[in-house]
């Protein structure tokens, strides 16, 4: 009898694991569609988040009629600490976007992001808590979604970057962690290359700090292709807005400074975006290099050409 019971539990566990692996995930969750102004809804959302135990580490308005709240909690930080370059998944982003007479409240899908960033855990508890706190009308950002297996080895297409292509993601290198961190902090405070800090999260037990950063084209000598408003004006064209794609990240890990090259970082949030045509990657073909150059200046690194 005991052997049969153990066998049944084993079979159930196998079925659950197989179902989870075959599940298709999408990058964003629509919490609700409401009315009012962005500021009022943002205040209401912020209170719900803090009441649920989330820590608001930063917020900003990337452009008119939009706001983003960056959040974390112990579960996010602990999972980040247990994962290689887990800092990228230490924050989730909640967006409030006015579209016509409606206000969309949405957020990044924690479980989707955990697999995209190859984290040690799937952040299912964080996903459940956000759904309970803000709601879940539907997931969006990809028509069919991506399976876990594909997410954990994601790249947009042949020849383009993976999560672990560190040579493309690296921005600068220093003798030690402290010097790398100090340089990034100082340059963010100055707004070097139009890049400013939105949030900072220190990953516990590691020499790893992630900064969420805004990107605005400088008035003098600026490049529109690095500007988040310009880019989103092209690629975020569908009815449900992917404002929670923002902000971008710079990460100081050990003595090096990294970002996620845009052909990965944008594509992972917009996996269905076409290569050619209207509102396509071809319309922002110069953005990956423009973003890398701006962030490299912020990191104090050398600005070098990569490749298309």
Q: pLDDT digits over 278-296, tens only?
A: 999 999 999 999 999 999 9
Task: Please check the confidence at residue 11 and state whether its pLDDT lies above 80.
Answer: no
Which tens digits make up the pLDDT trace of 254-273? 999 999 999 999 999 999 99
Which tens digits make up the pLDDT trace of 148-175? 999 999 999 988 999 999 999 999 999 9
Distance CA 19, CA 39 (A): 40
Task: Please check the confidence at residue 6 and state whether its pLDDT lies above 50.
Answer: no
Identify the band that residue 19 occupies on the pLDDT scale cut at 50, 70 and 90.
very low
Distance CA 244, CA 91 (A): 11
Identify the band that residue 302 occupies on the pLDDT scale cut at 50, 70 and 90.
confident
Task: Please check the confidence at residue 178 and state whether its pLDDT lies above 50.
Answer: yes
Q: Are 113 and 28 in contact (CB under 8 A)?
A: no
Give the domains, in start order, of the chain with CATH numbers.
23-299 (3.30.310.70)
Average pLDDT over residues 213-239: 95
Distance CA 234, CA 243 (A): 12
Q: Are 164 and 118 in contact (CB under 8 A)?
A: yes
Percent of the chain scored above 70 by pLDDT?
Answer: 91
Burial class (CB in 10 A: 0-12, 13-18, 19+), 250: buried
User: How far, CA to CA in Å, does 250 sit from each of 8, 50, 121, 288, 292?
Assistant: 47, 25, 22, 14, 10
Q: What is the mean pLDDT of the chain?
A: 93
Q: What's residue 14's pLDDT? A: 42
Q: For 49-53, 110-114, 303-307, which range has the lowest pLDDT when averaged over its residues?
A: 303-307
User: How far, CA to CA in Å, does 197 sit from each of 74, 82, 88, 154, 192?
Assistant: 22, 25, 15, 28, 11
Q: 102: phi > 0 → left, psi -120 to 50 → alpha, else beta; which?
A: beta
Q: What's residue 118's pLDDT? A: 98
Q: Which residues contact 134 (CB under 8 A, 6 or more apart)?
A: 31, 32, 45, 48, 49, 94, 105, 107
Percent of the chain scored above 90 by pLDDT?
Answer: 87
Average pLDDT over residues 47-62: 98
Output DSSP code: residue 228.
H
Q: Are 188 and 196 in contact (CB under 8 A)?
A: yes
Q: What's residue 301's pLDDT? A: 87
Q: What's residue 305's pLDDT? A: 62
Q: What's residue 164's pLDDT? A: 96
Identify the band that residue 15 occupies on the pLDDT scale cut at 50, 70 and 90.
very low
Task: Please check the confidence at residue 251 and state whether its pLDDT lies above 70.
Answer: yes
Average pLDDT over residues 246-260: 98
Task: Please check the confidence at residue 87 and state whether its pLDDT lies above 50.
Answer: yes
Q: What's residue 219's pLDDT? A: 85
CA angle 164, 169, 174 (to 5 degrees): 115
Identify the band that residue 13 occupies on the pLDDT scale cut at 50, 70 and 90.
very low
Q: What's residue 220's pLDDT? A: 84
Identify the band that residue 234 occupies on the pLDDT scale cut at 50, 70 and 90.
very high
């Amino acid at each position: 009898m005991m052997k049969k019971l153990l066998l049944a539990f084993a079979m159930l566990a196998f079925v659950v694991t197989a179902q989870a692996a075959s599940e298709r995930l999408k990058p964003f969750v629509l919490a609700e569609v409401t009315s009012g102004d962005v500021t009022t809804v943002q205040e209401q959302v912020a209170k719900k988040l803090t009441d649920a135990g989330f820590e608001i580490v930063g917020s900003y308005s990337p452009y008119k009629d939009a706001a983003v709240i960056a959040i974390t909690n112990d579960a996010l930080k602990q999972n980040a600490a247990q994962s290689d370059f887990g800092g990228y998944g230490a924050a989730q982003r909640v967006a409030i976007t006015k579209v016509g007479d409606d206000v969309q409240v949405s957020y990044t899908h924690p479980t989707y992001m955990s697999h995209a960033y190859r984290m040690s855990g799937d952040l299912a508890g964080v996903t459940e808590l956000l759904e309970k706190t803000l709601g879940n009308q539907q997931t969006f950002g990809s028509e069919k979604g991506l399976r876990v297996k594909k997410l954990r080895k994601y790249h947009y297409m042949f020849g383009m970057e993976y999560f672990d292509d560190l040579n493309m993601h690296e921005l600068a290198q220093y003798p030690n962690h402290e010097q790398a961190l100090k340089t990034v902090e100082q340059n963010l405070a100055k707004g070097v290359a139009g890049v400013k800090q939105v949030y900072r999260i220190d990953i516990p037990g590691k020499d790893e700090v992630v900064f969420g950063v805004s990107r605005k084209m400088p008035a003098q000598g600026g490049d529109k292709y690095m500007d988040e408003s310009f880019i989103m004006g092209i690629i975020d064209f569908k009815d449900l807005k992917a404002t929670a794609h923002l902000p971008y990240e710079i990460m100081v890990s050990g003595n090096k400074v990294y970002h996620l090259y845009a052909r990965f970082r944008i594509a992972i949030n917009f996996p269905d975006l076409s290569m050619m045509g209207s509102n396509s990657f071809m319309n922002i073909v110069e953005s990956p290099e423009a973003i890398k150059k701006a962030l490299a200046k912020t990191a104090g690194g050398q600005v070098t050409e990569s490749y298309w």
